[in-house]
Amino acid sequence: MIHAPISPAEILGAPLELPCGLRLKNRLIKSPMSDSLGDGAGQPTAAQTRLYERWAEGGTALSLIGEVQISPDGPESPGNLVLAPGGAEGPWRALATRGAAQGAQIWPQLGHGGALSYRALSHPRGPSPLTLDGQPVREMTQAEIAALPAAYAAAALRAKLLGFRGAQIHAGHGFLLSQFLSPFFNHRSDGYGDSHAGRFRLIGEIISATRQAVGPGFALGIRINATDQLAGGVREADARETLRLLAGTSIDLIDISGGSYVPGAAASSDGTAREGAYFATVAKAAKELTRIPIMLTGGLKTRAQAAGLLRDGGADAIGLARALVLDPDLPRKWVSSAGGDPAFPRFETAPPGGITAWYTTRLAALAKEEEGTYELDLTEALAAVASRDAARVPQWHARFGPPR
């Protein structure tokens, strides 16, 4: 009997069952993006909910909401959502429900900026003292570290009670947990640094505490860096060690990303030069190191690339960020005979952070269904992001008080 080759649409359209029992309806995941569409006091807005509903209507199996803070202590931006007790539940429930239209999943990405926290809202602290952009970062005390597993667990439990069926722990891109994993940031000698096992220890404790809080049926993902793309930071060999340690945990989905938002380092949302999947080598290695499903994110632009990676066993699911800003309906097209790849803009010269800012402002246009008239250049986008963030600082302080 001759079998017809499996088509890209069939490969990408196949469901994926996670170890916790949750099923993703296809292999295409909206990668976490800090949309900065919160109300400035950590709560979802109607426009933000519409954005996630659009991705669900566009056929995405799972949307990860970028940078949802576990507490107001270390936000990445004043537009972040915060899973803090006390806010009205209605907007969260609307986001969890409408973002899950048509059988999609929607999970918050549990974040803490650590050394990279937004300065007007926090006193940045990380695993070890540091100077960043001429500003001091304080070392976390042992008591502060000891409080983190319970804080992540409480945030995940709150997400569950608000109607989400999973969450992703953010341990990538140079934010707090990525700092603990990274020899660039972590010089501790108290059991939370020193060796790779020491640098991983906090993450292991967070996974255990969170799983205990949310129970077995809730999906727990994690994002890690394949490489920090930073001298002295995580290299691919370190990432393989992390994968070996994650293999023994109750994580349901490992998202392989990379890069860092440390000033002067390469962030993968700002990348233009490299063609193809940025971190495919580590994802492929991960498939041999663990049976936990692997999601690969970064640099994917075409259906042929995405389907090829899955066909060759290089990943179980594909994370897409910028492609889904350009076309929120892409998953529906890619799992059907329609196909079609997004037209990526070409930027001749890009100031640092300019490309990410361009996509950030385009997210706001998508949320308002105004992408047809969106036309900022990179410098205008950078200015728009900075002024929107600054305008929200008083709202943040009104709810959460002065920087802590």
Residue 180: CA count within 13 A, CB half-sphere: 25
Residue 173 binds to ligand FMN (criterion: CB under 6 A) = yes
Residue 39 binds to ligand FMN (criterion: CB under 6 A) = no
Residue 160 binds to ligand FMN (criterion: CB under 6 A) = no
Which residue among 299, 328, 353, 354 contacts ligand FMN (CB under 6 A)? 299
- Smallest gap from residue 216 Cβ to ligand FMN (A): 25
In order of 47, 115, 287, 306, 387, the CA distances from 256 in angstroms are: 29, 22, 11, 14, 32
Q: Which is nearer to ligand FMN, 193 or 315 (CB)?
A: 315
Residue 229 binds to ligand FMN (criterion: CB under 6 A) = no
Distance CA 267, CA 228 (A): 9
The phi, psi pair for 96, rounded to 5°, reads: -65, -35
Residue 143 DSSP one-character state:
H
Q: Which residues contact 197 (CB under 8 A, 6 or more apart)?
A: 245
Residue 40 DSSP one-character state:
S
- Smallest gap from residue 140 Cβ to ligand FMN (A): 21
Residue 122 binds to ligand FMN (criterion: CB under 6 A) = no
Which residue's Cβ lies closest to ligand FMN? Answer: 66
- Smallest gap from residue 79 Cβ to ligand FMN (A): 10
Distance CA 27, CA 125 (A): 37
Residue 385 binds to ligand FMN (criterion: CB under 6 A) = no
Tokens 């949309």, located at residue: 35
How many other C-beta atoms are found inside a 10 Å radius of the C-beta of residue 177? 27
Residue 356 binds to ligand FMN (criterion: CB under 6 A) = yes
Which residue among 11, 28, 300, 317 contacts ligand FMN (CB under 6 A)? 300
Residue 290 binds to ligand FMN (criterion: CB under 6 A) = no
227 torsion bin: left (phi>0), alpha (psi -120 to 50), beta (else): beta
Q: Which residues contact 11 (CB under 8 A, 6 or more apart)?
A: 27, 307, 310, 311
Distance CA 28, CA 319 (A): 6
Residue 34 binds to ligand FMN (criterion: CB under 6 A) = yes
Residue 125 binds to ligand FMN (criterion: CB under 6 A) = no
Distance CA 145, CA 213 (A): 18
Distance CA 179, CA 158 (A): 25
Residue 273 near residue 253 (C-beta atoms within 8 A): no
- Do the bridges between strand 219-225 and strand 16-17 make them parallel or antiparallel, or are there none, so unpaired? unpaired
Residue 260 binds to ligand FMN (criterion: CB under 6 A) = no
Residue 359 binds to ligand FMN (criterion: CB under 6 A) = yes
Residue 113 binds to ligand FMN (criterion: CB under 6 A) = no
Residue 112 binds to ligand FMN (criterion: CB under 6 A) = no
Which residue among 105, 229, 257, 290 contacts ligand FMN (CB under 6 A)? 257
Candidate ranges 27-35, 88-96, 156-164, 224-232; the one touching ligand FMN (CB under 6 A):
27-35
Which residue among 322, 333, 388, 392 contacts ligand FMN (CB under 6 A)? 322
Residue 31 binds to ligand FMN (criterion: CB under 6 A) = yes
Q: Which is nearer to ligand FMN, 111 or 193 (CB)?
A: 111
Residue 221 near residue 254 (C-beta atoms within 8 A): yes
Candidate ranges 19-27, 123-131, 236-244, 296-304; the one touching ligand FMN (CB under 6 A):
296-304
* 3-class secondary structure, 242: helix
- Smallest gap from residue 289 Cβ to ligand FMN (A): 21
Tokens of 44: 């979802």
> From residue 177 to residue 216, what is the string marking binding to ligand FMN with x (rule CB under 6 A)?
----------------------------------------
- Binding residues (CB under 6 A) for ligand FMN: these are 31-34, 66-67, 109, 170, 172-173, 223, 257, 268-269, 297-300, 320-323, 356, 359-360
